[in-house]
Chain A
Amino acid sequence: MKPPRFDYVAAGSVGEATEALASAEDSRVLAGGQSLVPLMNLRLARPSLLVDVNHLGALSGFESHNGTLRFGAMCRHRFLETDPDVRQKAPIFAEVAELIGHVGIRNRGTLGGSLAHADPVAELPALLVALEGRVIVASTGSERAIPAAELFAGPFTTGLEPDELLTTVEVPAHRDGDGGAFSEFVRRHGDFATAGVAVILHRDGFGACEQVRVAGCGLGPTPMDLSAAGDFLRGESSLTDGAAEELGRRVAAAADPPGDVHGSKDYRRELAAVLAADAVRRAWARAGSAGGA
């Protein structure tokens, strides 16, 4: 038997889940299990109570409402990748979900789980930061919103309290002139990224750049907001190769990547430059076309 002993509750509602979470010290939410269960098998995580939220159908929906896209926390990566509605209204989520692990992982792993796990190399947290999204979290009898900028406190550490359940993920709906792209480098297909960069930008009706948002994974202890690197593009109505490379240089300079067996600091900085230039070119082209991203 690999994991240590624990009690188990299959929650039938959000209320049941938050009550169960509050009922024990070291309680944990069990979502897709694709990060938590490996840690339990290795006995690196030893929760006393698992609150299984896989039966909460209310947490697996996707809707567009008043200019906001709302995803249930239990939207599985595979759903983001394949659902026609998501592909149409939030194509950047489909593009990013496809980059995560392998199909067997994506069949189980969830959006909320990825955000709550807060792996500094995970893609979805970086995407949430780039999109300036927020999460809604519930605890017994109350609910609050945490903006992406405040959610990620450190590697594998979020602003969630132990008795809080992440229920919903919200990002601004796509407007005409928006374009986004996510570029990453992996050693082998399906691995965690060595580094990745998300660029989300908006061009006005005349094609001029109004806003550039940049965030990275694998480039710091948290999914870093590197948007300041793109400020110089505001007002430009074309993207030259030189400008794309300049963005790359600025992103690389602002990043604070770790050095480890997968790549030194300098190597990751160089990757960041190349990936940012690639992402901004793709985002720019998409922002100028009808479909966008």
Chain B
Amino acid sequence: MTKVRFSLNGEVAEVEVEPRELLLDTLRDRLAMTGAHAGCEQGSCGACTVLVDGCGVRSCLMFTVQVGGSEVRTIEGVGSPGSLHPIQQALSTHHGLQCGFCTPGMVLTALELFETDPHPSRDRIEEWMSGNLCRCTGYVNIVKALEAVAGTAEEQL
């Protein structure tokens, strides 16, 4: 067992894990961050996306022992039920989600996009989001929501 300390949504998290424990499982089973969703668990779907030191990564493809000293951000650290983040608000307004399974990964992936480029074009949005699968919406409303955020990003972010 290895002790691992990292920052989780701005607070210190400390766990003792076997090397083989995936970050996704640690987040869900030990730290109650169940917003990181387990979809394919082989890198294909993006539902498990979290930010590690600001970069969107598949938490099903990282071992927890690898994030010692890093800053991890999950959907629980973005907005709150009473005060949604602009990306979350836009997805809600534009019906960018139905079952919501893909949504945490979508929001975190989009967050990295807007931090890199506050006014992405539609093409850029589509390219950037292509690694996150959604089985419900058909994507059109997700792209619309993010275009809305892109248009007003300066005031909102």
Contact = CB atoms under 8 A, between A and B. Distances in A.
A112 B125 CA distance: 29
A171 to B, nearest CB: 26
Contacts of B65: 8, 10, 52
Contacts of A37: 22, 43, 60-63
Contacts of A207: none
A33 B61 contact: yes
A42 B43 CA distance: 11
Contacts, number: 86
Main secondary structure of the interface of B (DSSP, over half): mixed
Nearest to A108: B57
A23 interface: no
Main secondary structure of the interface of A (DSSP, over half): loop
Contacts of A188: 130
A1 B56 contact: no
Given A8-B2, A104-B49, A38 B43 contact: yes
Contacts of B20: 1-6, 40
B55 A41 contact: no
- Place the interface of chain A in its size category: 20 to 34
B46 interface: yes
Interface of A: 1-8, 10, 33-34, 37-38, 40-42, 50, 52, 54, 78, 101-105, 107-108, 188-190
Given A50-B19, A104-B49, 18 more contacts: A4-B20, A5-B18, A5-B19, A33-B61, A37-B61, A37-B62, A37-B63, A38-B43, A40-B20, A78-B55, A101-B131, A102-B132, A103-B113, A104-B57, A105-B58, A108-B61, A188-B130, A189-B126
